[in-house]
Structure 1
């Protein structure tokens, strides 16, 4: 029951004591937290790539935050009741959302500044407080009642203080914990704190109000132009539903677009090589693979132009897609290669039959823009019946296509280990000298980024081969062959020379990538020749040893642990960093890790692929991180491709170094320098003393 009390100092007035509907109070607080969290999620899109422009998310986040403040005020006002009628002017109630949106816009502008100081935090909180208070004040101006109301100043100031102090505390905690706690959890806690601040300020403001009526009160006959509560409630519900639905839809759209960009070819819309490589690693047997190599596309481009060549590829892809049966998958794995993958029980026989139909189609001229185009081709088929064969199914098909006497006459050739592997290996070994001299062999560099500082901490050197006959050879094909024939030692010396020269060139240009990593083959790690080559090249180009990091595979240690440890000790004493590459793929890593005098631990991509969705892989990563940090090692994560992976690693590891397509692909020198100018301001390299 509502109580009516006679004010002791006002004999001609009576004070009205209001009541609160606690379900509506709870609803107002919940709505405030939900919409505030939605605003934080939208604002987070400003920092990441999205289907929509970052400014769109910035404005939408401001509207969402302002809508949350206003919604809380709206529901909170109707949660309060007096023993007389209270109405709200339509215009004033709707206009009260403007200061909330403006304040939210200014607050998010401050929150998105690259460098945040304590003054930014104070200003952010002050702006939020002013926005909350102004929104409430304007909405109260629209309140229509015949009661006289006054404010208790001390409580009124307290409500403003609540709307400012709580955001300050939440912002400080957010900045302190953002390195250690998952961002989603922090945003949830921040939204909860701001939601409580907004609602706390509102109800504290209401408690500062006192309402009075004359003793002999009778209702005034005047009728106000008043707001329809039911209609406004519907408006609020629709607004919230649209905001949350759009957020969900845009998230799904962003994930879909990111997936399509990463795993589908832009020209043909077919799955690309990255998705293909993931699929062939799955343990599904039997697994049969056919690769069509199209010959003469460069001639088409030269005779016409690249736009015409693209149309030829598109038409080929459309026809090949039409020929693919339901039991088979089609990929474009290279500029001139299409792959067919099947798990059909009949395996190779089934694939042979289907590829014969493809061969018949390819023999017919294509009609593109009224031109007849003839494309010659050859097909390679390989098969895997177990996990060991799966690892080589793609390599075997490439060995067929790289065979020296192959002819592009639409023939379908099955892999034969007695013919193709030997022929390809022999040709690779024979051609490697020419490849180094004529620069068919070249280097690309992939950046490594510290997520905490958002700085490039170094680059890894990767080897590529553009063969004059076979085109781009996969490192997974030619490096094992060179290692088996003891030619990687010579190639590694060539790489060291190239890298040292490049670092010297960067120094002259005033560019630094801090440290350049070079992969060292297992058989070369323990050789005294390696240290001599390194010292000679550093002296030749006047470089310091700390600019080079040697990446050594785990299997190098496993094969001869004692000699490897002695060799690495020597490298460390000379000032080189040493990274243990592909950690987790060996069999003795944990038992020997504490003995290895390494400086860096590189986590293999296979452990990263399924985090954070796989609890098992996530637990393994956490255990490896804990082990590495306990040994005071720098931890580098290879093959990181998604935002979810980055966020998981950033909240799990104290100072994670990320290497992968999320930040950048392996790039040639000019591309790398241009990328670095956009990513961060390059530093100067100190002169050698």
Structure 2
């Protein structure tokens, strides 16, 4: 047998290349697992080539390190085939370690396939020498080399899978794993070479081209180092890019968390503390006075007239007004005070260490600040505020009690005429409990048939006959007697009970119309008022149609009254709703006309049958020239547009004569007739054909 020898320097280079190839494979696995889509496929292809070239280079340098007493060479086609086997095996390995899991069965199968691939690469490369006679292999050593290849592949797969996620901790571990993997691959190669024997007289047919092995080794080393260096450099730059992005993302997340924390404790519109932060500071204040003594004030503020502004000009203007209110309030409070927005137009001021005189002065400053006019998008707006004050801990030893009692005092301030402040006392708490009880009773009022309708007649000016009636709801409370709408309708609107109450009123009015038509031959129409909540209900048109059909009532007997401010809240939607009712045959009345902010352009488009002049103008008609001018203008406007004019709140003969002289078509008020049950209406009154209704 021919005796071979090794070039020690090339053997060392082959080991270094093996370790470098192993480290490259670990880096590529980490890069592939973090990429997605097309980027992941590109990293897999590039990683497979770099890793496969490295493994193959280790093998081929090891082959070039081996020499025999004869000239050696390698067939280029077979050599390239061995390279392709190395790249394919690398691609399989990288794909395998980038799966979601690597159970023992899959790891074992992958190790076998990859080991066979590495061994196939090695022995295909040996075949590229084209020895004559052929290489003789020692079978035990041959099998051992394949076993080493499989074992090294298993270690490589397990290591790559375990270290595939990029982090600072994995870099040193990858270096250690690369050394173990490189030694394993080199061990397989040199065991395979150990298994090979070359008979005496052997010739290397592939050596006829005269290629210098030393130069080939240098070229392969340089190319391999260049490819792996490019791959690792790209990977490092990718890491730097990802670290930069992660740092940016971390800063963005930190900023977002800070903003979220701020938003969690502050009102998004006014930037004031919200209820959460207020309650936290209120709890701190209570704990402080409990341990150190003293007292503080909780001032609950609700804006007077804000709803009118919101309805007339829209939520955009309302929001801008709230911002200006918050700015004014902030300008008149102290640095140690806490000003918070706790609801739509509700604000709370926490005044620590305040005495009654100091709190009174603070309340006066707030009233003065809010009473001055606001300029919002060219609109001159005037509102006021009602303030309730609880002195704690006397008026509230808990957060809930402090806010509840301040709220009760605020409602008492509103009942006194608004634009005022009140300190809490226990009687107000009793009133609050009464409101809660009233709310519970109201929920059951419809089911218990406690609601009734009274009807106020409307007369053709000046002395009749009756042209129609307006339905006015009353609550026959079992213990409190007959309750008027002014007392419970605002409560119903606040709690949402206005919707079922409104449905009942509409149904009862249509039932009454049917009864009159069937028994008394009266052809009076009935006007039904709609609250803004009812008017904006999406099923309003369908409800009216179904109710009329259920009682077999022609639409001309029903008039729907809508306040001017409700009609102007969302003009386009209001026009759609009113037009659908008008097309159905229902009459439309614009109530409280003159108190809102109607545009003549929109009024001309409204399908209104009549305008009702608000009682506020009628009350001072004979003594206030400005009110008289407004009423005269409304009458002239109505006549120009062909709309009937109804004046409500007529209580004196002077008012009746003045309104008749101005040209009002119909009159309504206590002078002519009070609201009464249907059975008490004047049975001798004659129906008035095609009458208008209020």
Task: Sort the TM-score into its range (normalised by shorter chain).
Answer: 0.3 to 0.5
Return the TM-score normalized by structure 2.
0.38
- Structure 1 or 2, whichever has the larger Rg, is 2
Return the TM-score normalized by structure 1.
0.38
